[in-house]
Amino acid sequence: MIRTHPETGRKTIFVNSAFTKRIEGMKPAESAALLGFLFEHVTSPEFTCRFRWRKDSIAMWDNRCTQHRVVADNLTAYRRMERATLIGDRPF
């Protein structure tokens, strides 16, 4: 759950509400409580960046230390999305 970023050496919380289901070695209720806190904590406004889309904008992020959250607030605009996944390091 805590990993070291291989390039910066900084510790990161590596949880995602869509993929992280439990914390191994904890009682189910304790795991749920801690994960609930972490899921809310990592989406706090102080940790977010709002990208303002404009014509020909491109956005990229490092999933090792960033979470992506879609805000469907402009349904009239066309957005073409491509995903590239790189083979890289294993979390440690």
With 80 as the cut, is the pLDDT of residue 4 above it?
Answer: yes
DSSP the chain: -EEE-TTT--EEE---TTT----TTS-HHHHHHHHHHHHHHHTSGGG-------TT------TTT---------TTS-----------PPP-
Domain residue ranges of the chain, discontinuous segments joined by +: 1-85
For 20-71, what is each residue's pLDDT tens digit? 999 999 999 999 999 999 999 888 888 888 888 888 888 888 877 787 777 7
pTM of the full structure: 0.69
Query: Are the C-beta atoms of 3 and 92 separated by less than 8 Å?
Result: yes
